[in-house]
């Protein structure tokens, strides 16, 4: 092995192998004369910068200057892009040509590897706080929940779950306008997050479900005339506004049982929105879904 080859190996160890012990290193094999390589470079640089906090690093290897290294990887065409972890190729990223494609591949790889970048460390730190916030909000202490979610948002300003928690806590406190302002100011990509969609559903439900001054009187009216679906629908709204999701579900399911297509399926739509607000993975929602299925298919 020549001195130049030994130097090339040492450089590769320093720039790729050693960092890959804890990070995911994207290795881009390229050359000055390669047009497709130059077109791909800004895409790789942008995605690597976006994923830097997640423990991703980009290293470019010029195949003309580092022929020995390129030969070890059996590079026969360029651009060739590999993801390296702990000194070993774990994925061929060459087929990816856009930011979206490359980002998707990296997300999939990072889910499978024990890489601890700043983002992963932060996610681990806020996970128990998010769980606490949801538990506190679920227990009815919206004021404390808002404090918890606000603390998380200060640590991770772009965390959709923290923003969603803030919005839902404000809605529970009767601050729908403040929640709407919070959600309206989000960038489009964040607004599409399922957690934000959950908060949007909660806001829409809060706008629909107006408080009822005399719930007991309305309930008596419905009992006297069980087919008054408009009154029962109003009762469900009042029950939701009062935090009585059990009662609201019962009222909406009864409308569906009696006339499932009443008012263009308004009762079912409101019930599904309630499920989304509570959380589709919540055991209570699973139980209510079974009740809904029983009503619809029997």
How would you write 9-38 as a 3-class SS string? Answer: HHHHHHHHHCHHHCCEEEEEEECCCCHHHH
The Cα 36–Cα 14 span in angstroms is: 27
pLDDT band at 118 (very low <50, low <70, confident <90, very high): confident
Strand order, beta sheet including 24-30: 56-62, 24-30, 80-85, 88-92
pLDDT > 80? residue 210? no
Q: What sign has the CA pseudo-torsion 172, 174, 180, 186?
A: negative
pLDDT of residue 266: 94
The Cα 285–Cα 269 span in angstroms is: 14
Maximal C-alpha separation, the chain: 97
pLDDT of residue 286: 95
Q: Which residues are marked as active site?
A: 34, 37
Dump pLDDT digits (tens) for 25-55: 999 999 999 999 999 999 999 999 999 989 9
State the pTM of this model. Answer: 0.64
Three-state DSSP state, 10? helix
pLDDT band at 214 (very low <50, low <70, confident <90, very high): confident
Average pLDDT across the chain, whole number? 92
pLDDT of residue 252: 96
The Cα 278–Cα 225 span in angstroms is: 30
């Amino acid at each position: 092995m020549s001195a130049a080859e030994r130097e090339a190996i040492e450089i590769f160890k320093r720039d790729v192998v050693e960092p890959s012990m804890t990070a995911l290193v994207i290795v881009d094999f390229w050359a000055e004369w390669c047009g497709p390589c130059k077109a791909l470079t800004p895409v790789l640089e942008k995605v690597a910068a976006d994923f830097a906090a997640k423990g991703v690093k980009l290293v470019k290897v010029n195949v003309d200057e580092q022929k020995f290294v390129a030969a070890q990887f059996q590079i026969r065409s360029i651009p060739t892009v590999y993801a390296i972890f702990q000194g070993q190729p774990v994925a061929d990223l060459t087929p990816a040509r856009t930011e979206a494609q490359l980002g998707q591949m990296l997300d999939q790889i990072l889910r499978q590897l024990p890489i601890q970048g700043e983002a992963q460390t932060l996610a681990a730190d806020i996970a128990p706080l998010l769980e606490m916030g949801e538990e506190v909000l679920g227990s009815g202490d919206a004021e404390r929940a808002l404090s918890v979610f606000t603390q998380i948002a200060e640590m991770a300003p772009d965390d959709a779950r923290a923003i969603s928690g803030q919005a839902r806590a404000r809605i529970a406190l009767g601050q729908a306008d403040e929640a709407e302002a919070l959600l309206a100011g989000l960038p489009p990509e964040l607004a599409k997050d399922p957690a934000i969609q959950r908060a949007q559903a909660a806001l829409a439900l809060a706008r629909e479900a107006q408080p009822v001054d005399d719930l007991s009187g309305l309930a008596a009216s419905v009992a006297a005339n069980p087919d008054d679906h408009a009154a029962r629908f109003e009762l469900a709204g009042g029950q939701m506004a009062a935090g009585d999701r059990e009662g609201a579900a019962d009222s909406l399911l009864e409308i569906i049982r009696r006339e499932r297509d009443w008012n263009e399926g308004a009762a079912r739509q409101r019930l599904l929105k309630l499920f989304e607000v509570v959380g589709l993975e919540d055991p209570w929602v699973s139980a209510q879904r079974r009740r809904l299925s029983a009503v619809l298919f029997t």
